[in-house]
Structure formats: C-alpha cells, structure tokens
C-alpha cells in the first residue's frame, strides 16, 4: 500500500513517516507541486531494490583530490629543478660544474620532505 504525503507535511511528521514505512509496511510517496519526488520504504523494499537494481544509472563522481599545499608545491618545484639540472649534466652542457648545485637542491628537497612528514 502507498500513502501520498506533501513535502511540507513530510517535514512536520518525519518521525511518524519513518515509523510507518519501517514498521507499518507502507510506502510513503512524497509529492512536490503535485509530482512524485521520492519515496520512503521499509527494509523489504530496500532489499528488493538492491537485488533487482544494484547499480545506479548515475554513479557517484570520484572524490576531488585536495589542493596541494604551499610546501607540496615547493617540493615539486625543487624536484623539477633537480631533474632539469641532472638532464643538463647528462647532456654535457655544463659538465661537472653542476654537482654542487644539484646536491644543494637535493638537500632542500629532503628538508621539505621532513617538514611534510612532521605535519
């Protein structure tokens, strides 16, 4: 059996509506502006839906990764700089004169990584 309830009444009688759906074995259809909006049903209805309609047509979007922090941005910049300097050294544009600068950049990278690990 189905019972139709307007959104306004559903807000006012939410606890009663849940109890009716859960223990009274009734489906409660919520209406907005005369159109069916959703329904509240018991566990039997939920089990049926899970068996016969396991997937949604519109899956949840993947979570958005958090924005990188200033420290992470600095770390990426330092790593990119080291890769560039090592590429220069390998192509013999600068010879062995970059060793000191590369070692300083690697030390800076390790310092930033330690700071990230502490947080």
Which CATH number characterizes residue 12's domain? 3.40.1620.10
Residue 95, pLDDT score: 62
Residue 79 belongs to what domain range? 70-118
Residue 98 covered by a domain: yes
pTM of the model: 0.44
Residue 108, pLDDT score: 82
Residue 32 covered by a domain: yes
Q: What is the mean pLDDT of each run of 10 residues along the chain (119 residues)?
A: 88 88 85 89 84 74 86 86 83 70 83 79
Residue 57 covered by a domain: no
Residue 31, pLDDT score: 92
Residue 36 and residue 77 share a domain: no
Counting the structural domains of the chain, the total is 2
Cβ atoms within 10 Å of 20's Cβ, excluding its own: 18
Residue 113 and residue 75 share a domain: yes
**Three-state secondary structure string covering 38-99:** EEECCHHHHHHHHHHCCCCCCCCCCCCCCCCCHHHHHHHHHHHHHHHHHHHHHCCCCHHHHH
């Amino acid at each position: 059996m189905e019972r139709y309830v307007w959104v306004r009444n559903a807000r006012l009688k939410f606890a009663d509506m849940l109890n009716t759906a859960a223990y009274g074995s009734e489906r409660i259809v919520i209406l907005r502006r005369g159109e069916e909006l959703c329904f509240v049903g018991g566990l039997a209805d939920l089990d049926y839906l899970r068996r016969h309609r396991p997937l949604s047509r519109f899956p949840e979007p993947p979570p958005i990764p958090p924005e990188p922090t200033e420290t992470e941005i600095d770390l990426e910049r330092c790593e990119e700089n080291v890769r560039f300097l090592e590429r220069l050294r390998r192509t013999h544009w600068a010879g062995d004169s970059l060793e000191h600068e590369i070692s300083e950049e690697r030390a800076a990278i390790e310092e930033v990584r330690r700071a990230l690990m502490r947080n």
